[in-house]
Amino acid sequence: MPTVEDVVEAFKQRGFAFVGMASDGWLRLNGPLRPQTSAFEGPCEVQLDPSFVDLPRIRLLKIPPGLSSAVPHLGADGGLCYLAKGAVTLDIYDPIGQSLACVERAAWVLGRILKGEMIEDLEEEFFAYWQGLYCLADIEGDSLGKQSCLVGAVGEDMMWFITDDVDRTNRKLNALGYKTTNKTILTYRIRTSAKPRPLQGRWPPETLGEVLAWQGVLDSRCRRKIHERVTEGDKSKTQGVLILIESPLLTYGFGVLYDREYRFPTTKLTVGADPIFGLKVIPLSVVRIDDRYLAQRNMPGAATLAGKHLTVVGCGTIGGHLADMLIKAGAGTCGGRLTLVDFDCLLPQNIGRHRLGFTDLLSNKAEAMARELLRVAPSADIRALPVDVRRANLGKLDLLIDATGEQALGHWLASRYLRPTPMMSVWIEGPGTAVRALLRTGASRACHRCLWHSNKRGELLSIVGPLPQILAGHGCEGLYVPFPASVSLHAATLGTEMALDWAKGDFSPALRTRLLDRAKMFATADCDPPTDPECPLCIS
């Protein structure tokens, strides 16, 4: 394997000289960066990670004449962004080839920059060019125009929370440890169809006039709206205004403080212009904390459980982990609700494989899960029913989930709720031999009891041969089936996957099995079993 010295030697042959070590131990080499498409030859500094795990840093030592401060891929200090981190994995066994390839790539990027190309990349990089004070946006509706702004405080720290639902956002603000103050700031939300990119020229804009000129290039309608809103704020004699601009790429924004004593002198160019053009602007980094974004961020455009009414019966080892994953997939948000039903208490013997921990010992599992999940998602609507499900009134539901793992109770639930309500059961077979889930969405599909009849005849079994019957425990503690927490997580994962498919309208395959015991043989492929002729619930 080539050594660091070998790599330095290879760079020397390309006209680079070793000039020392950076403060973090990276090697510094100076040499020429030669784009093939341009006469320009820039002196640059290449810094190499001595372990060759990270991408080399490449920085122009001289900014080519005529380049403005906002060009794609070139930082203020001359740093070239020639490859996105994460886009490639460096081969640490080929440090020479890899490092030289990076320099070539950087030269190619510089060549394109010099030709004025890659402008569209500015859109992708915009967030790197527009950074300022943080403000958190918790907006769920579509209404544009005036929004509420809560000012949260922790000691000296203040944070703006922009919202279209003060109650909901207060819960989030408090969950973060902020206290709501009686302060507020006038805030407007404006939508644009233009993806933002920095202007080639003066950047970043410092005055409202510069912001308007910039926006005029991107979207003249948006420019007009911004002007109107800032004027409105000026007339209302308020101290300042926040403008949020929602673009197809991201939401960004800026603040304006109305300096009523002093207005910037107008320059020759702005004679006769509106005096508010001289007001200073403060860029805002807008961070979305709305529930839709939190649930959808990892699966853009995919269906979530937002807006659905779901009930999980059983908050044991499966139900606890399952409820947690459902909440992360949007359950209980955007007008939906998650109901948790369990009459049992958390005991020491549960903790090793339960979502909850020691601090919830002896608490009712449904209530403790609801408390825990509100910590995870403070604005979710979560209802705990600490009762036997047979005495609960579940109301109208979009999906009933049986996570009790108790066959008899599953059959009772099916007999009581099957007719109008889609129902999903998720359970563990044997001592963690396999996990299974069954979704029943219509009268022609097998219910939980149907599967029981089929299984009795040796059909639709999870594994070939009988399931191992292993019980542990002794004395008053009662017998239990031993399996590790990982098995419950497999079951909860299968249930979540099926619930998300259901939300998408994808009801097939309705019976799914994941074999966990590698010593056993898988018996039934995922399928859509019809009703069983012996099932008393499904005989019409």
Q: Which residues are catalytic?
A: 81, 447, 450
- Residue 18 or 412: the one with the smaller Cβ distance to Zn ion is 412
Q: Nearest approach, Cβ of 483 to Zn ion (angstroms)?
A: 27
How many chain residues are in contact with Zn ion, going by CB under 5 A? 6
Supply the minimum distance, in Å, between the C-beta of residue 319 and Zn ion.
23
Tell me if residue 81 falls in helix, strand or coil: coil
535 binds Zn ion (CB under 5 A): yes
Name the one range near Zn ion by CB under 5 A: 75-83, 198-206, 258-266, 440-448.
440-448
Of 16 and 452, nearer to Zn ion (C-beta) is 452
Among 73, 197, 449, 514, binds Zn ion (CB under 5 A): 449
Taking CB under 5 A as the rule, does residue 511 contact Zn ion? no
What is the DSSP secondary-structure string of 92-112? TT-HHHHHHHHHHHHHHHHHH
How would you classify the pairing of strands 309-313 and 337-341? parallel
DSSP tag of 119 = T
- Rounded to a whole number of angstroms, the minimum distance from the CB of residue 457 to Zn ion is 14
Binding segment toward Zn ion, per CB under 5 A, in 58-66, 165-173, 244-252, 531-539: 531-539
Rule CB under 5 A: say whether 510 interacts with Zn ion.
no
Tokens for 430, please give them: 């044997």
The DSSP annotation for 236-289 comes to: TT-SEEEEEEE-SS-EEEEEEE--SS--PPP-GGGTTS-GGGG-BEEEEEEEE-
| 450 contacts Zn ion (rule: CB under 5 A) | yes
For residues 170 to 199, the per-residue mask of contacts with Zn ion, x marking binding by CB under 5 A and - elsewhere, is ------------------------------
Pick the closer one to Zn ion by CB: 423 or 516.
Answer: 423
Cβ neighbours around 454 below 10 Å, total: 22
Please answer whether residues 126 and 199 qualify as being in contact, where contact means their C-beta atoms are separated by less than 8 angstroms.
no
- Told to check if 208 binds Zn ion by CB under 5 A, we report no
Question: 92 Cβ partners below 8 Å, 6+ apart?
Answer: 51, 52, 53
Dist CA 493 CA 511 (whole Å): 15
DSSP conformation letters of 319-344: HHHHHHHHHHTTTT-TT-EEEEE---
3-state secondary structure 503-521: HHCCCCCCEEEEECCCCCC
At closest approach, how far in Å is the CB of 515 from Zn ion? 25
Cβ nearer to Zn ion, comparing 500 with 511:
511
The residue among 342 and 532 lying less far from Zn ion, judged by its C-beta, is: 532
Binding part of the chain for Zn ion, among 50-58, 271-279, 295-303, 527-535 by CB under 5 A, reads 527-535
Shortest reach from residue 436's CB to Zn ion, in Å: 16
Binding-site ranges for Zn ion (CB under 5 A) = 447, 449-450, 535, 537-538
